[in-house]
Structures are given as structure tokens and as C-alpha cells.
Amino acid sequence: MTRTSDRIALRGVRFYGHHGVDPAEQDVGQWYHVDLDMRLDLRSAGVTDDLNESVDYGEACRLVMQLGARRRFALIEALAEAIATMVLESFPVEQVWVRVRKTPPSNLVEALAEYGSLDYTAVEIERGRVASD
């Protein structure tokens, strides 16, 4: 499959979730930020001016927020994977790139304070459709 250079980019999709390895992170929760690139051929949408030929990015945002707010994951890697899978299953995209970002847990910030600081942690993944035989 040829990779298209067309993409729809969503930046700063934000939701409050209860993810983390530390039980305190899951109990208290925090804000998560997701950036998403959905690659697909947008030529037809550009010519026809028809949303059915593209991706409804409002719906994509809603699904990401809903997944992040309702499900729980220990790792942001698992959250990113679930988002990528959901996008590929829900929309006619060829590839998806996902970045999930969160502030580090307070115990890690405290442990590092003697040496410096850490603003956030992030995971980035890229997934594509599996070619069928």
C-alpha cells in the first residue's frame, strides 16, 4: 500500500482519565493530552466538499475523549494502542499516529526534584491497516 501524504491532524485533545501504574494515579486521575494524525487520501473530499469522503474530526475527538475517560489503563502505551486501534476501526484511514502526554506522578516529581524537573511524559506510536490477502 502506498502511504499518502494527506492527513487530518488533531492537536490537544484533552480529557480527564484514571490511568497509571500507581493506584493513587488511578484513584485521583489527571488530565491527558492526545495528538492524532490520521492519514488518508483527501482528494475526493477536496473535490466534492463532502464530509462522507473524509473523517468527521469532531466524532474522532469525541471517541478519543470517551475512551480515555471511561476505560482505565496502567500504561499510557496501552492507552495509545487502544486509541490507534479505535481510529483504524472507526474511520477509513490508512495510518494513524498517536501521542499521549501526561504530567508525571507527584512521587516521581519529588524523587527527581534533587536533580532537576520533568514537565511531562509522552508515548508516540504509529499504526496502519494490516493488508488482507
Mean of pLDDT values over 7-18? 96
Residue 36, all three cell numbers: 492524532
Q: How high is the pLDDT of residue 5?
A: 87
Give catalytic residue positions. Answer: 102
On the question of pLDDT at 133 being above 60, the answer is no
Distance of CA 10 to the CA centre of its chain: 9
CA distances from 130 to 5, 8, 85, 133 (A): 18, 20, 11, 10
Residue 78, all three cell numbers: 496501552
Query: For residues 89 and 130, what is the distance between their CA atoms, to the nearest angstrom?
Result: 11
Name all domains of the chain by residue range, CATH numbers in brackets. 7-128 (3.30.1130.10)
Share of the chain above pLDDT 70, in %: 95
| 3-state secondary structure (DSSP) of residue 83 | helix
Q: Summarize pLDDT for 65-98 with one digit per residue, the tens.
A: 999 999 999 999 999 999 999 999 999 999 999 9
